[in-house]
Amino acid sequence: MDIQPVTLVGRFIRLEPLSLDHALPLWEMGNEPGIWAYMPYGVIDSPVKMRGWVEEMLRRQSKGTDLPFAIVDTASGWPIGATRSMTIERAHRSLEIGGTWLGASFRGTLANTESKYLLLQHAFESLECIRVQFRTDLRNERSQKALERLGAVREAVLRKYTIMPDGYQRSSVFYSVIDDEWPQMKARLEEMLNAEYGIRNGKNPRGE
């Protein structure tokens, strides 16, 4: 598992290695308290805090535990959110995909689906992982439904797993995908993305 910054390119979004240049446009997209409600960083409510968040993600990258990305809309070239590979365990060939957030106008679109597709493809096909996991706040039903829609397997609820910045004792729901499941999940994700591509171009999912 040679973890290096890399740009992952899709049809609708691309994942660029996170940099300080992304801090200001990400602040303009992420200036919304609801984005941070379930995140363990506290509310990012100023450009200074967003820059500090980016700096923290880059520190984690330098330690080899995280690989953070800006999610960029290919049509506009504008950063619309962020995501990352994290909890990287080289000895066990596993990692976690998380820390994902999107600006309000891009939630519920294919941006999340394609970012997950690109990160999973990179994990299983480039890094040769055997396990990729996800975790989400037990209260965050939107995130759980999204993961289940993608085909991730719900494994367990770890009760009072994390103390949040406001003191809340968060329980976390864990999901995973293993290498044996990736080919089927990949086909599922590609079908979803192709259907959306057809809708965007005025076609039905079969391209007619």
Stated pTM of the model: 0.90
Would you say residue 56 lies in a domain? yes
Does some domain include residue 154? yes
Domain count, the chain: 1
The per-residue pLDDT for range 111-146, each reduced to its tens digit, is: 999 999 999 999 999 999 999 999 999 999 988 998
Is residue 205 domain-resident?
no
CATH of the domain at 177: 3.40.630.30
Q: For residue 94, what pLDDT is reported?
A: 97
Residue 27: count of CB within 10 angstroms of its CB: 20
Query: Using one digit for the tens of pLDDT, what is the confidence trace for 73-84?
Result: 999 999 999 999
Any domain includes 175: yes
In a domain, 1, yes or no: no
C-alpha span between 192 and 3 (Å, rounded) = 28
Q: Are strands 78-89 and 13-17 parallel, antiparallel or unpaired?
A: unpaired
The Cα 54–Cα 20 span in angstroms is: 6
Residue 108, classed as helix, strand or coil, is coil
76 within domain boundaries? yes
Ranges of H-type helices in 64-154: 110-121, 141-150
Note down the domain range covering 141.
8-200
Whole-number pLDDT of residue 207: 38
